[in-house]
Structure 1
């Protein structure tokens, strides 16, 4: 049983690692706080794809995106552990740099990967870009309001 739990954790960490690298491939850098939220939202979007928002939404996009966290506090908190482990693993392998709370991709060897299983939707991609305009503090306030 312990071996199965370990294998499940390895799979989760590898999935989150892939998502983190894909986010950095497109957006170059992102704060740790925002990475935690958007990584979780991308995986949630993969398993529950019937969103009411799409890439055409431009008004209040960050608030609409964070509203997808509504009522999902326990799952989000459970995922944070694995996302942080994925960030640590990528940092240990030298694939990313974490400085002053900002994550940046270092390696270009994985940037040619195009067979990613977890793609960010246009809506989430737009929300990530918009999130650059607000501070981490304001972003986390909105996360707390929505979770």
Structure 2
């Protein structure tokens, strides 16, 4: 049973390594909190692909995106551990740079095929979230989870 848990954890962490790296390659820099939330939403969207929102949405896009967390408190909380481990691994390997509260990726030339592609809707939400302060962003996350 212990071996199975280790295998499950390694698969989860590797998935989130890929998702975090894809986010940072596309957006170059993002806070740790926002990366955690959007990495979870991108992975979740892969398994539940039919979203009520699309890339045409422009009004309150961050709030709509964070509303996708509604009713998924346990899933989100369980995934945070794996996302943090993924960020730690990427940081230790020098792939991602952690500076204050921000994650940066230096070189995006080593781009492999994107397995967990973000939708246009989430892409817009990530860009708009850069203009929202961390405190307000986390308030919205906790209100939706």
> TM-score range, shorter-chain basis?
over 0.9
Which structure 2 residues correspond to residues 69-108 of structure 1 after superposition, within 5 A?
A: 69-108=69-108
Pairing partner for 2:129 from 118, 131, 136: 131
Taking structure 1 as reference, are residues 93 and 107 closer, same or farther at Cα in structure 2, changes over 3 Å only?
farther
Deviation of 1:5 (Å): 1.0
2:17 match? 17
Distance in 1, Cα, partners of 2:97 & 2:25: 13
Give distance in 1, aligned partners of 2:116 and 2:79: 16
Is 1:143 aligned to 2:141, yes or no? yes
Per the TM alignment, residue 8 of structure 1 is displaced from its structure 2 partner at its CA by 1.0
The answer on whether the counterparts of 1:65 and 1:124 sit within 8 Å (CA) in structure 2 is yes
Q: Is the 8 A contact 1:94 1:106 kept in 2?
A: no
Q: Calculate the TM-score normalised by the size of structure 1.
A: 0.96
Which residue of structure 2 aligns with residue 116 of structure 1? 114
TM-score, normalization: structure 2? 0.97
Residue 107 of structure 1: how far off its partner (Å)? 4.0
Kindly provide the CA deviation profile for residues 82-137 of structure 1, in whole angstroms up to 9, marking residues without a partner as x.
Answer: 00000000001010111111000134453x21x22111000000000000111010
- The SS at the match of 1:104 is strand
Q: List runs of 5+ in structure 1 lacking aligned partners.
A: none
Q: What whole-Å deviation, never above 9, does each CA across 1:24-79 have from its counterpart, x for those lacking one?
A: 11100000000010000000100001100000000000000000000111110000
Structure 2 gap ranges (5+): none
